[in-house]
Each structure stands twice: as C-alpha cells, then as structure tokens.
Structure 1
Amino acid sequence: MNSRILAALFTLLLVAASHAQTVFTLNKASYLPGEAITATWSGRTSPAAKDWIGVYPRTSSPGGPVSTLWNYTSGTRTAGTPLQAGSITFTNPGLAIGQWSAYFLSNDSYNSLGRVDFVVAPAPTQVVMNLNKASYATGEAITATWSNRTPANANDKIAVFPRNAATTTTPTLWVHSSGTQTPGSALESGSVTFSSPGLAIGDWTMHFLDSDGTTSRANVNFSVTAALPSFTLNKSVYQLNEPIKVTWSGRTAPSTTDWVGVYPTSMSGVPDGSPGSTIWSYMNGTQTATTALSSGTFTFAAPGLPKGNWTAYFLANDGYQILGSVQFTVANSPRILGFTADHAFINDGTPITLSWVIDPGDGAIETLVVRDGTNETDVHTASVLDVSPEQNTTYTLVLNGTITAEARVFKESGNTAAFSIGATHLATGSPLTTTWNGVTGNSDSWIAVFRAGQQPRIDQAPYWNYLNGTRTAGGNLIDGAMSFNLPAGEYYVVLFTNGGYTIEQGPIRFTVHPDAIQPLAVTNFGQDNGDMRLDWNSLPGVSYDVQTSTDMIHWNSEAEGIRARGTASSLFIAPTPGDASRFWRIRQNP
C-alpha cells in the first residue's frame, strides 16, 4: 500500500480517537434567566490554546450564525494554556428564555468535539396546596387542592409520604395531577381525591412533585387517627345563657375523663391548656368523672357565655386530643320569651286570650304578627290578642319575619263514631283504651297522649304509638284499638296523620284519678241548720248539675256547673214550704 495513504489513514484514526475521548458536560440541564452556566471537559488529546466553547440557539450550529456566547478554555476571550481537562463558567450569560446548545470546538475552528443541549426557563411559581382537613379518620377520603402551578406539566404528581421521608423514596400513595396514574392534561390548578387511601394511623406529608417525580413544589402535613366520633350541638346560634345541648356517638375506647371544653373561636391555635376553657364538663354532664360513655347527651344548662363566636371541642381523657369540634355563636338578638293561650280548649269558653313576651335584646322589634293559617294580624304595638276560633287552630307569632313561636287551641271532640275512649275518668291502674273506625290509617298515623297544658310539636308526647301499636311505622289500619297505662293526672288524646302534627281525630280530654273511683251516689240528704244539705261522691275537677222536681217527670235546675274540689261535694238548699213532696237528682257533666 502507498506509504502516504497509510499515513493519512493513521492521522484520521488519531483524530477520531481524540474526538471520542473528549467528554463535555454542563452542570445543569435547565437554567433560570441570568443563572451562571458551568461547562466541564476532560479527555481532550492534543489540546490547543484556542480550543473554545460556544453557545448557540438550538436551531443553529457552529459555522452558521455567530455564537451568542463564547470563551476560550482559558475562561476568557484571550487564549491561554492548552488544557486537556478543565471547566469555565459563564457568570452572567444573559441568555433569553428558550432552547440552547453548548459546543466544545477545537482550535478556533467549528469542528465540534462535544455538544450538550439545555434550556433557559423562568423560575416555577410557588405552588399553593391545601388539604380539606388537618386530621383524618382511618379510611377517610383525602382531598388535595392546588393552584399557581406555572408552568404546569402533565407528569406533575400529588404524592403521600410518611412524615419526614425523602421524596426520592417510593411514595405510599400517588397520582398525576389528572387524578390517575396515567398522565392527563397539564393543570395549573385543580384537586384530586384519594377516596380510599388506606393509610395507617400516624403522621404523613402530601407533596406536589415536579414532573421529575422527586422535586417538591409544595407540601402539607396531616395525620391519620382512629375513626372519630360524631359530635354535634343542637343549634348554631344561641341567645345569652340559653342552654347548649351536646350530643355524641361512636366514641371508641371511651374514657371516664373524656370532656367537652368551650373556647373563643378567636383563640390562636387549638386547645393546649393555655388559655383554659371558658366552660367545660365531663361527658356525664358534671365536673366529676364517673362513667366512660361511647355515646350520649348532656346540657350546659346555664352556660353564661358572652356574645361572640365560640368553638366546642370534644377532647380525650383529660387531655387535648381533639375528637371533634363545632363552632357556634352566642347573640343577644330579639327573641320570643313566651307565647301562650290563657286556656287551650275552645269548649272552656271564648274568647281565648293569646299573650306574649318579647325581649328585643340588642336589636329592635321591627315587625310582629299573629297568623292563624288564614289571616294575619299586626300586633306590633300589643301584648295580647283575643281570638274566638271555631275549630282546632295553630296560632304562630312571627317576630321580625323569621323568629317564631306557636300556641295551639283545640275544640274538644268528645267521643265520636270515628274516635273514642272507654272512659273520661279512670282510676290509676285502669288502662285508657282508644278506639278508631274508618280513619285514614296511614302507616305513619299515630295516637298521642299529652298532659294537660302540653302543646303538640312544642312538647314531646309522653305516651304515643303508631296505629300498629308500636313505635315503628307500618301497616294501614283504618280500624283498631290500643291501650295506655297512665299515672294520675289530666290528659288529652289525639290521632295525628302522616307522621306529623296534623290532627285527624280528637282531642278528647280525660282524667286519671289517684284513687279508686266511687260511683256517683248521694251519701247524705237531711237538714242542716234550717237548710237541706245534699252530699254526693264526686270526682275532682268534674262539674255537676243539681236538678229538682215535684213529680219526677218535670225537672228544673237547682244549681249548675258545680265544680268538685275533691271526692265529696255538697250543696245547701233552702226549703220550699207548701210542697207535698220534692225530689232532687245529681247529673255529672262530661
């Protein structure tokens, strides 16, 4: 072979070997605008003083447009010592946002010994991420919400790690920002829910991870605890010193020293002993621990809280582990302190006087009306109203358009073919039997016995059943009977329909007497200091009429509506001279 050809081939092999051995790198693949760029090389055989590094837009290449940045391997634009390895830094590169390429070029030529692509990109904005709660029960769904992710990437992830674990480890839970483990759209804001997270009890951290899967752009700490009990209050707004009723259930492993503390909502942080609670109680309703209760209710009867916003905390075992919390408000707004009828039954006479007491509090009485279901009467300047209803009527007092109170008046029906009771006077131990025929008989129709003075809906019926005789609705019983055993007292019984307080039959009043009932009978009749005295067995509260006759055919009234005060009653009668004979009889009114 020609010696010159061999020499040329040998030279080419040396050049190729030299190029293959040169290693050229940058310190990063992505830079912020103005961020320093460091280029490093090694393995450069036969280095030249004018080896240089040039930076070009990605779409350009050496030998075309001039380089945007360049320096000799000396780090300046003055050639220095030839270097087989080294590094230089472009301290203030001034490159525009976009895609770029850095080249290692030999000896003032455009012969590339190495190339690295990189980008200049704006700094990512601070991602804002929140969770819907700070603490979750085991198995409870967790929702993460984020915003301000710029620029967003379809490979962004929301991931859960044990507290303090590095994000370079494998997450316990993760999804892309699309909500699945398959990349979707790039989202600057959104939310994902881990419906069944299955996390163990303990402390965890939720991270928003960059598209590289390890760089955290935001994080939120949270905890997983044992399933929390239900914890509620009976109202969200209370008047000054109005009782506060607390109810809870589902407390696993309860302690005798579980307690409820009430704190101002404005308190910084959560209960920790400083400041102390404004009011508090163990779950038995006292400040003396007795029984561990998994569920129950108690009342702060006179809480004494001033006006403002408050939070009630359900706390564990004389400590500050929060099992539940409820916010509420104490206000001094206008309220109705009372709304009553002077008597509840039309049968006892009309008119019936409605009266009320209003406390304006820190507000004003702007409007005040009484409604009867048909008409509305303005009573803004009054404190009583006389009414003469002809049937069962519910009167509603409405203060300032929204605050209401009810008073019901009734027309006693007495026994009818549709609804009746066995007796209106019973002795203790004798059951009250109610009978109905041909009523609507819906599955949730019900019979209730109220004490005299109680109001349906306002007061809970102390004795009641659905028409099937139980407290579980069911059946359609248009005919039937049921009995109640009641203590001594005055009562009325009503049949309601549709599970509410719409009266279908009744009311019927009756009395249960503490002693055995003596039959109506005259116990004494004779002279007493010149008058005739008539004595008879009576029932307390029942009225009687005394009638007289000379022939036992035609009877006249001697006295009417004598209301008995006890089990014996008397009437003194002036003698009537000239009668050959005279008779008297006693009638018991219904």
Structure 2
Amino acid sequence: MKRSDFLRLSALGSLGLATRSFALPEGYTGIPAGIRPYLQTPRPDSMWVSWFSDNAPSGQIEWGTSPANLNNTVNAALDVLGTGYHYHAGRITGLSPASYYYYRVRNGSTVSDVFRFRTPVPAGTKTGRMRVLVMGDNQIIGENRYEKLIACAKAKIESTYGVPIEEVIDFILMPGDQVDVGTLDHYRNLHFKQCGLISPNIPIMTTVGNHETYYDTNLDLYSRIFRYDDISYANTPGTEGEKYYAYQLANIAFIHTSSEHTTTAQKQWVRSLVDALKTDASTDLCVSVVHRPYQAEQYVGDISGWFRSEIMPMLAETEKHVLNIGAHHHLYARGQTREWPIYHIISGGTAWDQYWGQSSESDFDDVQKTIAHWAWQLMDFDLSARTMEVTCYAEANVKLSAETRWNYNSRIIDSFHRKLGLEAPNKPALENTFSGPVTLPLELISSAYQSGSGEAINSTWFQIAADSGFTNLKIDRIRDVENLYGDTGAPLYEPVNIHANVDILRLAVSSGIYNGTHYARVRHRDTNAMWSAWSDAIAFTVEGSTSGPTALKLAKTVYAPNEDFLATYENGTGLPKDWIGIYKKGQKPGSGAGTVTSTTWQYVDAANLVNGTRNFTYNLPVGEWYAAFFTNDGYTEIAPRVPFYVGNAAVISTAKEAYDEGETVSIQFSNAPAGATDWIGIYQIGQTPGGPLSTQYKYAPTASGSLDFTGLPKGYYFASFFVNDGYQEISQRIVFSVGTQITSVSMESNQITAGSDFTVSFNKGPGIPKDWIGIFKQGDVPGVDVLTAYLYFAGATSGSVTFHLPDLPPGDYFAAMFTNDSYTEVSNRFLFTIVGQSELKFEQATMEGNEMRFRWKSQSGRSYKIQKSTTLATDSWMDIRTVTASGASHEELVPIDRLANPNCFFRVVEN
C-alpha cells in the first residue's frame, strides 16, 4: 500500500527539514552502532545467528553460558550475495532447552557487543507460558517507521514485566512483506537494520509476502538469507523449499503458508499437517500464518481466496487451530470465522499508508474490528490451561501529523482469548409467536443469553429461510456486540463502534423476504468464539409484501457425472403441481409435435410450495442441459431457464502469464469432452462471452492437446473452454498479457502549477484490484527510489484518478501504472513538471523599446530566474537572468532582442 502523506515527509527531507520529530519511548536514541546480529529458527537445542558485512572474508560466533565465558566458537558460513553484501550465518548447536546463552559475533578484529538469548522449552512441554510478539509489513525503507514500532513494543514489554525483553518473548512472528522489494538493499538496510533493536536477542520467523517476490521472483535471496530447513512439524517439511514451513514450540504448532504460491503441493502439505494435528498428543494449539488475509474490510476482495476457501476449512477440522494471522493491509483488524471457533487478525505494521475513505470498503460480519492504527500484538499462551490471550497495542495513526502521530503510548485497542475445554453457550429460543400472517416490517426477538462457562455474549446469528432445511436463505445475519468500522475523521480519527446502540438480541426485518411461508432461527456466540446450538425453528407467513421475481437457481454451472444437483426455486405460484424439469439443450418442453418430455422432473416440495429446494439424483448423460420451472402440471414456464453442463470440467493452461508482442500463445487443454465443435476462445479482460466476438478462437475436438494463437494484438486477455459452438464455459478462465506497456496513461497538460490538483487518465489496464497509479521523480527507479505518491482505482480497466498534493515541490515527475501491488510497470510514463506558483503571477510584463519590464510577486531575499523558450516543452527553457528579490514585489528590466527572438515565451521561476 502506498499513499501521499509519505510525499510530505520526503518533501520535507529534500528541503533539509527534520523528519524525525515524532515522540519515541523515553530514553530511546536509536539502534546502537556496531554489528547487530539476527537470530532465527529457534530450537531447544540450537539457534541460527546471522549478520551482514560489507566485505569481511570470514566470521565467527563466540558463545557461552556467561558473558565472561564465551569459550565456544562456531565458524559462520560466508555467502557472498553481491558486491558489498557478505552474509555470515552459523548455527549454535548442543544447547539445552529453556536456557540462557551469551554470544558475540566477529569479523576479524571487528567484534559486536555481547548479547543474550533463551532457547525454547522441549517440544511437547505443557507447563509454563509462551509469549510471541507479532509485527507485520516492515516495507518502507525511506523512513524508520518500523524501527520506531519495535522500539515502542520493546519499551512497553520491558516496562510491563520489569525484565529484559528476551526473558518475556520467546520469538517474533512476522506475517510477510518484511521488505518492499526482494533486493539485497532492502533485506540488509530495511529488514535486518530496522529489526536491529531486538534481533540480537529474540529470534524472528518470517512469512513470504507478495513484496518478497518482487525482484526476487523465485525467492533465491529469501531462501539464502532465512534458514528454515532445520525445522518442521510432524517430520513434514514444506515441499517447495522455504516458501512455506511449519514447526512446533512447546505444545503449539505454527504453520506459515504462502499466499503467493497456491499450489496443489502446498495444499497437500497442509492436509498432512492437519491429519497429524488431529492425533498428535504433544500439541494442544495451532496458529496459522498467511500474508494475504482471510478477510478485509478495506480494499475489498484483496484477500487470499485460496486460504479462505481451501486451507481454512482443513485447519478447522481440529479445534487446536485457534488463530490465523494475516497482514498485507497496513492496519489492525480482528474477526471470527462464521462457522468455526477460530479468530483471524490482520497485523499490518507501519507500511504504506492505509486509512478510511481511501478504497472500496464494506462491513463484513466475520470482521469485528478494523482499526487504521499502526500496532503490534502480544500472544500469551498458558500451556497447561490450553489458553491463548492476544492483546493489540496501538502506537500511531498515519492521519495525524508527523509531529503528533506517535502519541498513543502502547494504547490497548483490542484483546481476545481462546480457551479450550469450555462449554458452549446455552441453546436460545425465538420468543415470537405468530397467530396468523404478518406484514413487514417485523422484529425477531431472541431469548436472553445464558452460559455456564462464565463467558459473555459476543455475537448473535439470525437466519430466515424459505424452507425448513435452511438451504434457501433470505436473511443470514451475524452481529457482534461491538463492531468497529470507520473512524471519527479529523482531528482524532478514532475508531467508531457502529453497534453502540444496537440490541443484537433483536433483528428488525423490513425487506429481503416476500409473501409466503418462512422459517427463522437464532444462535449465540460467546467471547470464547463458541457458538450455541441453533434454536428450534419457528414458521411464519408473510403477506402484504411483494411476490418478488420467480426464479430458479443452481449452485454450479458444471456438474461431474453422477453428481447430485440441488435446484432452488423462489416465489413460485404456490400450486402443489408446480414442477421443475430437466431438458437437453435445444429441446422444446411439451407433449405435442416437435416437443419432448423432460429427462427427469420433480414437483415442488409439498411443505414449501412457494420457496424451496429439490435434490436431483438422476445420473444425467454428459452434455449440455437446462433446468426449467413450470406451473400447475403444464408447460407454462414461470422463471428463466438455467443452463448447465454435465461432464468433467476441462483444464486449460499457458506456459506463462506474459508474452511478447508477436509471440505465439500456446494453450494446453486436457480433460475435455472431445466434441467436434468445442472451442477455446480468447477475450479481452472486461468482455463477456456471448456479447462481443472473441479476439481469436480455435476448435478443440480432442480430449487433450495444445492450440497455438498467433498475431494477438497487444492487450490483456483471458481464455476459456466452451462446448458445442456455444458459450457454455466448462473451465476456469486463465489470464495472460501480450506485449509491454499495454496500458496508456495521460494528463491534460504536462505542466501543473504547484498546489493544484491534477488528474491522470488511463486506458486498457490489467483489471486487477491492486493496480495503482504512481508518481515518481524523473530519473527515479520504482521499487528502488522513494515513491512520491500513489492512488489505487479498484481494478478498473479504464478511468482516471485525481491527485491532491498541495506540498508537492516544483520539479520534474512522471506518472505510470503498476499492477497487482507490485512495481511491475504496465504503461507508458507520462512526463510532467510541477512549476512554482510564482511563474504565473506576473504583475507586469511590458515591452519598453528593446527591453522588457518584468514585475512579479516575490519574497524578499529569495532568488529567482527569468527564463525564455520558443515552446512550452518542459526541457526547452533557458535562463536569461538570475536576481534576488528586494521586496514583496520585484521589478526587473531586461534587454530583449525582438528580431532574434520572435514569438518567445517568458516565465519567472524560483531558483
């Protein structure tokens, strides 16, 4: 994430003004000088120690059980990562569990201070406590925000417990984006350096984020710097290097997944871990980590759908899994999964600015709090009680001024817990009684919350369905007693509890249900994330509403052979002989000439005539079909038909996601039905098949094969597999691009007056939610040099964004589009200049013979240049005089040769 407040800081820096004016913990003077080693991969019997040097040829680790007795030496391996980047790493072995050790590192005569660390307790230990510090998204190298967050956390922890931090914290967990780009500069001077206050004493465990993959696509540097091959859980190491890994400390399993490598291999690896957890008596709790989060209320949709839909359901098979930690969004958020007693949080650290009103936003019922503060979390496990307590401490808010933003002083903004073994809340009841039909609005009333566990109420879940099995839901609403969403705005930007005046035991219903019979139920959730059983359902009939559109729905468009399929009907006529029929594509329902009877059919549910479901178990032959809804035992259709396909879903793929212009795009396919008129079509991103014609298509009449597409114009595309010369898609779409700088960006003018808003227009974008327009100084390298400003635009393929940058100093800049939250440039660069306001504020410019009199608004003592040009091009201006202003208005008489300078433009700029 990137935002314009950072511009102001870099602008101040360029003027030589102080940028380190925020408050810091009392007595903090910065990270001490000298080598600051980095601990990683803690085990009861070993610890990895690593550090960088400029060009030292070798290194040693000297260690022992007291600072005065460092009588053991480990030779550190040298890995020359690049010129000026010598990486030293060694593993201290033969250690005892739960013990303190002292060490220092040496490069010849250059020696670090002496530091202390503590080894973990033995695996399977079920007594005592474990405390883990959670901090995500370091990312910004141009400031020391992350260093300050670490300093605040260290000061708070040490003042709370009264001992050095290594006596409190077992290790630090970082959920990704430890760098902005995966370069040596960022690993050494961002991650290692800004963690240097605590990295010599507490081991750090990282996670792969999207920014680790930028400039380091295959994670070559990541795998050389971080040493996770010495640990695993259940003897099941990650199968793709160190992209994902797991380990056990005490009786807790920690699983670091990669949202950037959503492979079948990783999913199978998680499957093996979950199966082991279920039967492993040495583990009682499990925490998972993924960079892109499970859910997010800002930048809606920018989550890991893979983790949400494929990984979390597996982890939920065991009650040991109590928490998922994500990052990616640069704030704090906490929620509970809808179905399971599992918490999920976003620990977004201090990376690129993120705040309310900046993006697409939505209040989700599985997120209880979204707080746009810079924060860190402390996880405290009671190993014998099998409990987890998590407290979140806020330190700053980016919307506050740089001088005041670090003023929260470790304010507690959230706390929650999970305690295994407690009973769930009591089963509630709905207290409504219906003696006859009701009209909207109506209010459902739950009985009071009751529980024998001592836990308070946290949530209620109301459901209203059109059927007694609650498969055709009309209202599906979870509400929490506290729901922090949005903020108060200026000047304080405090979180807002939008449920402050909501009685969650009552649900008002004014829309969403139609005439007919409905069923309602409720359940309660406690502050231990446990749900009660559902209440008994009550039935009621609505009248005086609308009938609503009659509709027929299927859950999918492609069904495997022999797979059952559920048909949902809504707002039928209420006649007992309304029915659903299944026909082959092209067949005409009826009983006369040219018509056919259905292949299979069912009447509507006798107990749910208007709204309900019917399950079809008929084994339909492979092919295209449709479901139709008829009334009163006849052939009058009362809802739009629903097409679907029976057969195996085809699989298509390309060798890569980006092709050069003119390069052949080869699409492989398999598992296809081998129809003579089956085809693969290529469309531009944003198009809908069946509307505009495909850009190209080819028939795919075999079960598997490869098709080559040539001559595709520059653009962003998707391909899909269609059957029978129609538009029934039976594959997942794949996306790819052809050419470079596909997107065009432009501005109305290449000169902008300082302080003025300006708009950047774009066309033919990739259509990815995290595409963004960035502003850089001309000559800067994106991802290496400081980003000046940026704006997202919700993944639109065309449109515009308007920048409001009142502090942007005069100078030469460029605007370009970058894709998917990366520094991958996908457009031309539009060059423009910010010109000082004084340029356009002539008070007088008149010819007097062969001289011109200039008079402009000025500041006394300031230096100005008078320039001329024959065009308005940015690089065409020439200096003709430099002067120092003598007052609020300055006057200068300059000789001008009219004949030698016809049609010249003149301006005055601040020097």
Band the TM-score falls in, shorter-chain normalisation: under 0.3
Select the structure of larger CA radius of gyration: 1
Q: Which one has more relative contact order, counting CA pairs under 8 Å at least 6 apart?
A: 2
Q: TM-score, normalised by structure 1?
A: 0.27
If each structure's helix is expressed as a fraction of its own residues, which one has the higher value? 2
Q: TM-score, normalised by structure 2?
A: 0.19
